[in-house]
Amino acid sequence: MLNRKLVINNLLVLGILCVFVACTPTRKLKYVNNRGPEAEKNDYYNDRSEKTIQPYDYLYIKIFSLDERTNSIFNERYSSTFETELISYSVDDKGNVNLPFIGTINVKGLTINEAKEQIEKSLGVYLNNISVVVRFVSNKITILGEISRPGQFSFYDEKITVFQAIGFASGTTPYGDLSDVTLIREKDNQIKYHYLDLTNKNIVASEYYYLLPNDIIIINPINAKYRSLRDYTLQIVSSLLGSVTTLLSSIILYESLTTKE
């Protein structure tokens, strides 16, 4: 009888441990889970406002003119096929860019199109029949934590989505907690932390869905204790299963011999 009780107790423990192991928080490992009251909602609106130029940005500025002499003055340094990557003007701490022969032009807080108009207006005082191209260059984001390829990545669009950024880094590791993502953003000399849940479909409507240059994304891990306990529990389950199997075999053999007697 004692052996039977022991077997029953062991089986109960084994069952509890198996249930515990099976409760892997897969919802934390999946992007945009379909759950909650808005599970069936698939249409979201996000106001994708234009990025404005801020101090320490880098701008590609190229000036075109019908006059060959003007072209040669402003564009002789543009010879590489990678000119947008290698040649740029830095925006100083006051929001100014310094153009050859023209001097400083303030572009702080302007969109790319507004900066283009401002530069054309300033150049128009000295030159006729000109056109200006302005682009952002050397935009960078940093991705750290439970990510396959952590590091700093460059992009040339005005902004990218948080999912595109993770794609740059080849996705998360098996232990990345997509429900616990930290965004660090500096704006107007203030550094703020924002916490994102990438498993929530509403993320596409968040003001932080689109990243800005110099943003830092940290993919936090699922609970480290859970991982350790999971591995430890699996060892216990395996050992316990072997013990229970041996014990059951012994009891069956014992009862068989007793019955024959």
User: Is the Cα dihedral 182, 186, 191, 194 positive or negative?
Assistant: negative
**128, 179, 120, 172: which is closest to 149 by C-alpha?**
172
* Helices and strands, counts by H and E, the chain: 6, 12
Domain count, the chain: 3
Which residue from 80, 81, 89 is spatially nearest to 60, judged by alpha carbons?
Answer: 89
The tens digit of pLDDT for each residue in 41-64 reads: 655 555 666 778 888 888 888 888
In this structure, what DSSP letter does residue 53 have? Answer: P
Environment class of 249 (CB within 10 Å of its CB; exposed 0-12, middle 13-18, buried 19+): exposed
Residues 65-91 pLDDT 10s:
777 666 666 665 554 445 555 567 889
Residue 16: inside a domain, yes or no?
Answer: yes
**What are 162-218's pLDDT values in tens digits?**
999 999 999 998 888 889 999 999 877 788 999 999 988 889 889 899 998 889 999
Residue 137 identity? V
Residue range 21-30, pLDDT digits in tens:
445 555 665 5
Q: Are strands 151-155 and 139-145 parallel, antiparallel or unpaired?
A: antiparallel
Which CATH number fits the domain that encloses residue 66? 3.30.1950.10
Q: What is the pLDDT of residue 225?
A: 46
Same domain, 246 and 203: no
pLDDT at res. 202: 87
Tell me: do 114 and 172 sit in the same domain: no
Domain that holds residue 71: 58-137
First-to-last CA distance in the chain?
A: 18
Q: Tell me the HSE value of 57 on the side-chain side, using a 13 A CA sphere.
A: 31
* Distance, CA of 112 to CA of 181 (rounded, Å): 30
Residue 175 located in a structural domain:
yes
Distance CA 161, CA 179 (A): 16
115 in the same domain as 94 = yes
Q: State the Cα–Cα distance between residues 144 and 176, nearest whole angstrom.
A: 11
Q: Tell me the pLDDT band of 117, cut-offs 50, 70 and 90.
A: very high
CA-closest candidate to residue 207, choices 64, 47, 25: 47
How far is residue 159's CA from residue 49's CA, in Å, rounded to a whole number? 10
Rounded average pLDDT over 149-155: 91
User: Under a CB-based contact definition with an 8 Å cutoff, are residues 112 and 136 in contact?
Assistant: yes
Within-domain flag for 42: no
